[in-house]
Structure formats: structure tokens, C-alpha cells
Amino acid sequence: MPDLYEHYLRVLTLIREFFRERDVVEFLPSCAMPRLITEPEEQMTAPSCNLILPYSQTFAKPVASLLLGRSVWMAAPCYRQDEGDDHLRWYYQITAEFLDLRLHDVVPIACDLVRSVSRGVGRDLPEFETVDLAAEHDIQTDEAFDAWCEAWKRDATRPLVALNKPHATPPYAHRSYRERPNLEVGFDLLLPGVGEVMSGGERNMALIREAYRFSDVDLPRAHSASIGMGLERLVAYLLDLSDIRDAVLLQNRVADVPWNDLLAQDMYYERIPLEGHEA
């Protein structure tokens, strides 16, 4: 476990250095998000204040970027109601908003980020391959894409950038193509044995500005593109961990001893002598 903490420290240091060299400033993630999604059943909600726990920083990133007039990045705890052995419901996301950049500008940055961190921990990555899923006519649904990813993950030896990923509904606040509305103007970055470790795409800034209508602050008119990387996924890849749960820093399990017993035994608060007085 100490080695895992040291590894995370190294990875986070490398990520900060990468963004600092590119003048992308670190900013605060949001601990709760406006409820912008109309069907929040799968989100962890706080009904009394109309909030959800963030499954990404979809809203916070572009707002911070626009109001600061700079590209920003965040290390953000997130919640997502995903299923499967290779998913974590509580995880950390390294996420960034690149002001005034387009998809073709951001993909090389995304690849450089993963390559730079990998190299910094002593693992060199081969060059990224690229596939444009707009030309793959048998991969036009979420299910077909998921099946394709699983097959690719088992057999791949090189990292891959998958452009124009299909979605029944593109990710919230991202752009899709007018002629092909099921295709996101975005990408997935996949690593052998792990699958998707990062996704990104161009932002629907008109929607962000509309969603900010409850504020008396007018958002500037601009465009941007974003990325989001699962930190535990990257660490699992770098350490060759077969189970992503082995990449979790603090296991979310309480002690077997009943909580009331801990309190009754004065184990929760440590009692020490008042300075200058005997116990």
C-alpha cells in the first residue's frame, strides 16, 4: 500500500508538470453540480437543494475556463452508476477544458499527456494508432462499440485513438454531427488490456451558456474542447494491475466493529491530559 501512494504522488506530480508547461491552470472541481439532467434517477442526488454529485466536471470546467479566459484542469472526485468488474462507481478524474481549441487540436495533447506520464514512471508507450469510427459502418451503436472495445482490449498491443464514437445520445454538453447525430465530435483513448482510459470532445457552449441563465454573470461567447481521464484506470495500466479495485487508494469499507461500540469505548476520540495538568 505505501508503494501505491508513492506511485500516485509521482503520477500527480507528472500531470501537474505537464499542464503547467502548457499554461493550463489548475482550478477547483465542484463538489456538487446543478441538476441539468432531466432524468436524475441514476445520479446520487440531494433533492432538497436540487443538486447531484458530479459524474464529471461537465459544467464546472467550461464555466471556469470561460470566466478565467484560460484553459483549466482539475483533479476531481466523481460518482458514476456504472456496472461491471472494470468500472469504479467512485473514482478520480483528471479533466481539462481547452479554451478556443477544436477536436483536432486536443487529441495530440491527450496522447502527449498519457505518453508523458507513462514515460515519467518508466514505461514507454508505442505510437498511438488512430481509427475513425465514422467510416466503420458496423460500429454505429453503443452496444456495437462496447463489443468492439472488448475485442480490441484483449488483442491490442498498441494504444489507440478512436475518433467520432457512436452514442444513442452523445455525452451531455458535447457536440454531435448534424448529418450523423449519433456520432460525437469526440474521441476515446484506449490502452491495451485496460480499454478506455480517456475520452474527450468539443463542447456545446450554447447549452452551457443557456444552463447558466440562473446566474447574473453572462458567459463570454467562445468554443472549447475537453478531456476526462480515469486516474485509477491509468494507474492500473501503469502498474499492470489485473483488477482496477487494486488501484483504489483508500478502500471504502468501515470497520467490522459496530460504530456504537467504537464510540462507547472512547476509540473515536483520543483522550489526552490537559497541558500542565495530570490526567
Using N-to-C axis directions, what is the helix angle for 231-238 and 103-120, rounded to 10°? 50
State the pLDDT at residue 25: 98
What's the pLDDT score for residue 1?
A: 72
Say whether 2 sits in a helix, a strand or coil: helix
Judge whether 235 and 11 are in contact, CB under 8 Å.
yes
Q: Specify the pLDDT at position 236.
A: 93
Residue 256 is predicted with a pLDDT of 61
Which residues are bridge partners to 47 per DSSP? none
User: What residues does each domain of the chain span?
Assistant: 2-131+191-264
**How big is the chain, counted in residues?**
279
- Beta-bridge partners for 203: 174
Q: What is the pLDDT, as a whole number, of residue 101?
A: 95
Dihedrals phi, psi of 126, to nearest 5 degrees: -70, 170
Reported as a single tens digit per residue, the pLDDT across 261-275 is 666 666 667 778 888
Please work out, in degrees rounded to the nearest 5, the angle formed at the alpha carbon of residue 60 by the alpha carbons of 32 and 5: 75
| Neighbour-count burial of 44, counting CB atoms closer than 10 A to its CB (0-12 exposed, 13-18 middle, 19+ buried) | middle
Q: What is the dihedral of CA 262, 265, 266, 268, to 10 degrees?
A: -10
pLDDT recorded at residue 30 = 85
pLDDT tens readout for residues 70-87: 999 999 988 876 655 556
Question: What parts of the chain have a pLDDT lower than 50?
Answer: none
* Residue-wise DSSP of 235-269: HHHHTT-SSGGGG-SS-----SS-HHHHHHTT-SS
- Out of 3.40.50.720, 3.30.470.20, 3.30.930.10, 2.60.40.10, the CATH code matching 2-131+191-264 is 3.30.930.10
Integer CA distances (angstroms), 7 to 184, 264, 265, in order: 34, 38, 36
Cell 483536432, located at residue: 104
Q: What is the pLDDT of residue 112?
A: 97
